[in-house]
């Protein structure tokens, strides 16, 4: 074997070892960068809590007259978004939030419930970190690690007085009901209103 052949053999082994080491380093970097964060499980649970709580409220009918009032049959979410009065930190709506949302969220989490109006302005209804609202609430008071929000629309309808759809240039004839009068209609014309509910769960 010539000297040239020996040198080529040694260089080939060096290149193979270098390639193996480089490949090991790359795989190590990919492996450690793809490991989920320590907070991933907590984040996933917080997201499930906020989403499932809103879904449960939007599919649960209100049958208690002391809560629903004249809106029996509406969902709990619609009651929280539209029907209950706000009246500050200790208002009826805040109490309903504590009653319906509080038991669904474990005490190691805190939560914030907000409602947006037609202009997209958010109003905070209840926040467990607000001392004025959550004086006797056992939920978490400070946001240390993470927070995540879920959104769901609430719907309500308002009845408006109907307008006469008929516009006659002239009224002729003698009839029991005047031609120009508003026709009898047993169906009220309503207007739908949609607002957005936001539930933030934090830890």
Tens of pLDDT, residue by residue over 105-140, are: 998 899 999 998 777 788 888 899 888 777 778 888
Whether the per-residue pLDDT at 35 is higher than 60: the answer is: no
Structure tokens at 178: 């005047």
Position with higher pLDDT, 36 vs 19: 19
The confidence score (pLDDT) of residue 50 equals 93
Highest mean pLDDT among 78-92, 133-147, 157-171 belongs to 133-147
Ordered strands of the 147-160 beta sheet:
122-127, 110-116, 189-202, 147-160
The confidence score (pLDDT) of residue 32 equals 65
Whether the per-residue pLDDT at 199 is higher than 90: the answer is: yes
Could you identify the residue written with the tokens 């619609």?
Answer: 78
Mean pLDDT of the chain: 75
Whether the per-residue pLDDT at 203 is higher than 70: the answer is: yes
Position with higher pLDDT, 200 vs 145: 200
Could you identify the residue written with the tokens 């949302």?
Answer: 101
Cα atoms found within 13 Å of the Cα of residue 136, Cβ hemisphere only? 5
pLDDT band at 162 (very low <50, low <70, confident <90, very high): very low
Asked if residue 130 lies in contact with residue 160, where contact means CB atoms within 8 angstroms, the answer is no
Position with higher pLDDT, 55 vs 25: 55
Asked if residue 44 lies in contact with residue 203, where contact means CB atoms within 8 angstroms, the answer is no
């Amino acid at each position: 074997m010539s000297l040239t052949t020996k040198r080529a053999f040694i260089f080939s082994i060096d290149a193979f070892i270098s390639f193996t080491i480089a490949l090991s380093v790359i795989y190590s970097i990919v492996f450690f960068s793809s490991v989920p964060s320590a907070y991933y499980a907590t984040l996933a649970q917080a997201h499930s809590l906020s989403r499932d709580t809103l879904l449960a409220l939007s599919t649960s009918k209100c049958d208690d007259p002391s809560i629903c009032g004249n809106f029996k049959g509406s969902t709990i979410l619609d009651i929280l978004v539209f029907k209950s009065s706000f009246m500050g930190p200790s208002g009826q709506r805040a109490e309903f939030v504590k009653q319906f949302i509080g038991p669904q969220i474990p005490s190691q989490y805190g939560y914030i419930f907000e409602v947006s109006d037609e202009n997209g302005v958010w109003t905070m209804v209840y926040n467990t970190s607000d001392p004025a609202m959550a004086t006797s609430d056992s939920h978490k008071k400070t946001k240390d690690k993470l927070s995540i929000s879920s959104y769901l629309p609430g719907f309500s309808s308002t009845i408006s007085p109907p307008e006469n759809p008929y516009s006659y240039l002239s009224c002729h004839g003698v009839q029991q009901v005047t031609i120009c009068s508003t026709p009898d209609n047993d169906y009220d014309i309503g207007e739908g209103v949609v607002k957005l509910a936001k539930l933030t769960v934090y830890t």
